[in-house]
């Protein structure tokens, strides 16, 4: 009686048991501070379902990358007391995963989940920076009465003294602009990736030794990832992001990641499929560069 196991990549027990797995998928179906279109709570489930169609054989490296094991954790339950409480719950869940020595991959849910995850990773990995792939700067001090909004996701990370290097950014407020000026932050905009031939190296150079990769799916152009809350035109392409992840994996050490803001569309699995395949590519790049020399 053949069956596809209902976990990330549809892996058999031998490759998906938590104890033996190097990678741990942590679903966080939380979307309570979202301001416009809702539904990222359905993202983790959709990404996991789509991942079961991702081919395990990687065409680029000409091999499979599941021997290290990829475990899928049960979802973190929403804490409805508010985003500050939820931040703590996420932090606690993530801390355990990091302590267990796993390469943690958070699945959102909205982008506000990232700060709890980064805080947990920072506890283990020093010299940490965040590679943020995103349409928005997410650097507001607070938004709609809370400092833990999706619109403040990276501001909360910076509060932890973790540098953030944004790529694909094409939407921020006057307040955020002023903040970036003051902090001398200049993200690599989506237009930069088309007009500045060195954008990829620039991004890599700014990263520290250990890198947390935070992928807001709206960093991609809506043509490639229409299933998201605020689909900003003029975004990144598939190969740009793949190649950037590869470059980072080769020159730095990626230690954790998240993929957030996926909203499944009725009948169109394009966005969650892209998210699932991107995560597998990330694993492939990390695995392939595990023993390479770094910065």
Specify the residue, 128 or 167, whose C-beta has the smaller distance to a copy of itself: 167
Write down the least CB distance from residue 8 to a copy of itself, Å.
13
Residue whose C-alpha is closest to residue 108's, from 8, 284, 257 = 257
In the range 155-194, which residues lie near a copy of itself by CB under 8 A? 170-174, 176-177, 189, 191, 194
Compare residues 108 and 227 and give the one whose CB is closer to a copy of itself. 227
Options 158-166, 205-213, 232-240, 250-258: segment touching a copy of itself (CB under 8 A): 232-240
Residue 220 backbone class (left: φ over 0; alpha: ψ -120 to 50; beta: rest): beta
Q: Output phi, psi for 219, to 5 deg.
A: -60, -35
Residues 109-138 interacting with a copy of itself (rule: CB under 8 A): none
Beta carbon of residue 104, minimum distance to a copy of itself (angstroms, whole number): 14
Q: Do residues 117 and 106 make contact, with C-beta atoms less than 8 angstroms apart?
A: yes
By CB under 8 A, is residue 139 in contact with a copy of itself?
no
Round to whole Å and give the CA distance between 137 and 46: 26
Binding segment (CB under 8 A) for a copy of itself, from list 3-11, 113-121, 126-134, 202-210: 3-11
Interacting residues with a copy of itself between 43 and 82 (CB under 8 A): 45, 49, 52-53, 55-57, 59, 62-64, 74-82
Lookup: tokens for 144? 């709609």
- Regarding 247 and contact with a copy of itself (CB under 8 A), the answer is no
Regarding 233 and contact with a copy of itself (CB under 8 A), the answer is yes
Q: SS3 letters for 175-187?
A: HHHHHHHHHCCCC
Contact of 3 with 13, CB cutoff 8 Å: no
Helix H or strand E segment including 223: none
* 137 close to 171: Cβ distance less than 8 angstroms: yes
Q: Which residues of the chain form beta strands (DSSP E)?
A: 23-28, 57-58, 63-64, 70-72, 103-108, 128-133, 164-169, 188-189, 210-216, 253-260
Distance of CA 98 to the CA centre of its chain: 16
Shortest spacing between CB 236 and a copy of itself, in angstroms: 12
Residue numbers 267-286 binding a copy of itself by CB under 8 A? 267-270, 273-274, 277-278
Determine, following the binding rule CB under 8 A, whether residue 227 of this chain makes contact with a copy of itself: yes
Interface positions, 86-105, toward a copy of itself (CB under 8 A): 89, 92-93, 96
CB of 252 to a copy of itself, least distance (A): 23
- Compare residues 128 and 279 and give the one whose CB is closer to a copy of itself: 279
Q: 110 vs 258, which CB is nearer to a copy of itself?
A: 110
Distance CA 43, CA 279 (A): 14
* Distance of closest approach, residue 26 Cβ to a copy of itself, in angstroms: 10
Task: Choose, by CB under 8 A, the member of 17, 37, 201, 292 that binds a copy of itself.
Answer: 37
Single residue of 200, 231, 256, 260 touching a copy of itself by CB under 8 A: 231
Task: Report how far residue 255's alpha carbon sits from residue 274's, in angstroms, rounded to the nearest whole number.
Answer: 21
Count, residues near a copy of itself per rule CB under 8 A: 82
């Amino acid at each position: 009686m053949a069956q596809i196991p209902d976990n990330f990549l549809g892996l058999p027990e031998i490759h998906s048991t938590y104890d033996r797995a190097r990678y741990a998928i942590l679903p966080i179906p939380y979307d309570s501070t979202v301001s416009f279109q809702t539904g990222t709570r359905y993202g983790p489930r959709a990404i996991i379902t789509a991942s079961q169609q991702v081919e395990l054989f990687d065409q680029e490296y000409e091999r499979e990358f599941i021997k290290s094991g990829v475990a899928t954790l049960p979802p973190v339950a929403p804490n409805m007391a508010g985003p500050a409480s939820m931040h703590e719950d996420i932090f606690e869940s993530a801390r355990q995963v990091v302590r267990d020595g796993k390469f943690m991959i958070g699945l959102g849910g909205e982008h506000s989940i990232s700060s709890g995850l980064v805080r947990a990773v920072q506890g283990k990995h020093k010299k940490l920076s965040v590679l943020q792939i995103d349409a928005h700067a997410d650097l507001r001090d607070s938004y709609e009465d809370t400092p833990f909004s999706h619109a403040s996701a990276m501001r909360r990370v910076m509060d932890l003294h973790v540098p953030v290097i944004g790529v694909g950014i094409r939407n921020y407020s006057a307040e955020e602009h002023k903040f970036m000026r003051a902090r001398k932050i200049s993200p690599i905009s989506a237009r930069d990736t088309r007009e500045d031939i060195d954008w990829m190296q620039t991004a890599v150079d700014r990263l520290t030794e250990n890198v947390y990769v935070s992928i807001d799916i709206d960093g991609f152009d809506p043509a490639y990832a229409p299933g998201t809350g605020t689909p900003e035109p003029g975004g990144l392409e598939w190969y740009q992001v793949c190649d950037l992840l590869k470059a980072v994996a080769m020159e730095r050490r990626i230690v954790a990641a998240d993929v957030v803001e996926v909203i499944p569309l009725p009948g169109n699995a394009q966005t969650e499929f892209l998210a699932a395949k991107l995560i597998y590519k990330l694993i492939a790049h990390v695995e392939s560069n595990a023993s390479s020399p770094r910065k």
